[in-house]
């Protein structure tokens, strides 16, 4: 797996995951929507830690800075 996520992209995904977690914790979201968003936030956290997004590779996107 080659890194394809930049630092800002990783931070944004992690913050969005934290917000979704907080919304669930404070019972702002519930039911099926909550479980779908929690699964999405888990994927966001996982991809943030490994710096690789499978969808980016499918679409040919790369937000990671290239070192010369």
Q: Report how many domains make up the chain.
A: 1
Percent above pLDDT 70 for the chain = 96
CA distance to 3, 24, 50, per residue, from 28 (Å)? 34, 6, 29
pLDDT at residue 65 greater than cutoff 90? no
Does some domain include residue 64?
Answer: no
- Domain annotation covers residue 44: yes
> What would you report as the CA-atom Rg of the chain, rounded to the nearest whole angstrom?
14
Count of other CB atoms within 10 angstroms of residue 43: 15
**Looking at the domain assignment, is residue 47 inside a domain?**
yes
Question: Is residue 12 assigned to a domain?
Answer: yes
* Owning domain of residue 47: 7-56
Question: What is the C-alpha end-to-end distance of the chain, expressed in Å?
Answer: 20
Domain presence at residue 11: yes
pLDDT at 57 over 60: yes
């Amino acid at each position: 797996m080659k890194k394809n996520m930049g630092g800002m992209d990783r931070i944004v995904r992690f913050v969005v995951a934290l917000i979704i977690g907080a919304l669930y914790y404070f019972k702002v979201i519930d039911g099926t929507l909550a479980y779908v968003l929690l699964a999405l936030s888990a994927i966001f956290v996982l991809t943030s830690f490994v710096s690789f997004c499978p969808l980016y590779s499918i679409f040919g996107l790369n937000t990671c800075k290239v070192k010369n």
